[in-house]
Copies of this chain bind each other. A is one copy, B any other.
Amino acid sequence: MKPEIGFIGLGAMGFPIAANLAAAGFPLMVWNRTASRAQPLGASGARIATSARDAARAGAVVITMVADDAALESLVLGDAAIARRLAPGGIHLSMSTVAPATIRKLAQVHREAGSILLAAPVFGRPDAAAAKKLWVCISGNAEAKQKVRPILDAIGQGVFDFGETAEAASVAKISGNFLIAAAMEAMGEAFAMAEKSGLDRAAVAAMLTQTLFACPVYQGYGKAIASRRHSPAGFSLPLGLKDVELVLRTAREVNAPMPTASLLRDRFVHALAMDRADMDWSAIALGARDDAGLKQE
């Protein structure tokens, strides 16, 4: 029989992942800050932990999928103390998108406590999570990675291993988000030039994403940016800014200038100045239209 897994964080991403694990026959012990989110899983057989601390058991695996670095840090450094709770030998599989520096720091805390932290951030939105179509980046202790492999196979369509440095997968993950944002900005600029030159934005987007850029990122965001449909937010603009700032901070730590990331940061700040905080992060592409004096009627 499969061993019980602790699962902390049942938000838009965490919930479908946990549900897939349950469906795959993994016994779960779930916890969420807003308790009601856990009910449906409880109804279908998962145990409900009484606290985050309770969800982490000695020698077991606990998965966390939380909002940001602060939330992750508090699970490890606060009362939940999951690094210590997992010892000896337990594995903390961290799926949140957080700063590599945070992973590095917390990995050390785990080591000292006698447990293991694996970074395992994922690519994919909630619908991809529900469809078991996530892509997982992973890094950390080799043996631990092998142990959690069946878990990852149950929730995604592929796993990419970035070696044993704790935070490597986290760097790979934010690299991906950066490339998406850069692509959105470039489309915003190209479509603004095309629009002011009298072309149909949608026709340009269609051509490019059926030919050179026939991949989901360009197709999905290209359509949104061409038609300027940025609501409802699939991934909110402030979260996008958070990720660009993670990139800049990480690049700063290793002394790597990233002018495109700097430009993106300015675009996100501009979008906030234009009251677009509730929009999808693709709304940064409106910046190029603003710059060109086009009204966002």
Chain A positions near chain B (C-beta within 8 angstroms):
100, 123, 135, 137, 158, 160, 162-163, 165, 167-168, 171-172, 175-176, 178-180, 182-183, 185-187, 189-194, 196-200, 203-204, 206-208, 210-218, 247, 250-252, 254-263, 265-267, 269-270, 272-275, 288, 290-293
Residue of B167, B180, B256, B267 near A193 (CB, 8 A) is B256
> With A256-B291, A293-B270 as given contacts, are A175 and B190 in contact (CB-CB < 8 Å)?
yes
> In the complex, which of the residues A203, A250, A275 has the most CB atoms of chain B within 10 Å of its own CB atom?
A203
Select which of B123, B171, B194, B272 is within 8 A of A194 by beta carbon: B171
- Does B185 contact A183, Cβ atoms closer than 8 Å? no
Give the residue of B256, B259, B274 whose beta carbon is less than 8 angstroms from that of A273: B256
Copies in the complex: 4
Q: Most chain-B CB neighbours within 10 Å: which of A135, A179, A191, A275? A: A179
Cα(A156)–Cα(B167), bound, Å: 46
From the candidates B179, B182, B266, name the one contacting A262 in the complex (CB within 8 A).
B266
Whole-angstrom distance between the Cβ of A266 and the nearest chain B Cβ: 4
Which residues from chain B contact A100 at a C-beta distance below 8 Å?
Answer: 197
CB < 8 Å neighbour of A196 from B183, B256, B288? B256
Residues of B within 8 Å of A171, CB to CB, are 193-194, 197, 199
Q: Is the Cβ of B255 less than 8 Å from the Cβ of A168?
A: no
Query: Which of B207, B247, B255 contacts A272, CB < 8 Å?
Result: B255
Asked if A204 contacts B186 (CB within 8 A), the reply is no
- Chain A interface mostly helix, strand, loop or mixed? helix
Q: Which residues of B contact A213 (CB under 8 A)?
A: 179, 215, 217
- A192 interface neighbour in B180, B190, B256, Cβ under 8 Å: B256
Complex alpha-carbon distance, A290 and B291, angstroms: 8
Other 6 A-B pairs with CB < 8 A, given A162-B203, A259-B266, A260-B263: A160-B207, A189-B251, A193-B250, A213-B215, A256-B288, A259-B259
Asked if A212 meets B217 with Cβ closer than 8 Å, knowing A175-B193, A193-B250, the reply is: yes
Can you sample 19 A-B contacts with CB below 8 Å? A135-B212, A163-B200, A168-B198, A172-B199, A172-B204, A179-B212, A182-B186, A182-B260, A183-B186, A185-B260, A186-B186, A193-B247, A193-B256, A196-B251, A213-B215, A257-B266, A257-B273, A258-B266, A262-B262
Separation of A248 and B113 alpha carbons in the complex (Å): 38
Contact B197 A187 (CB under 8 A): no
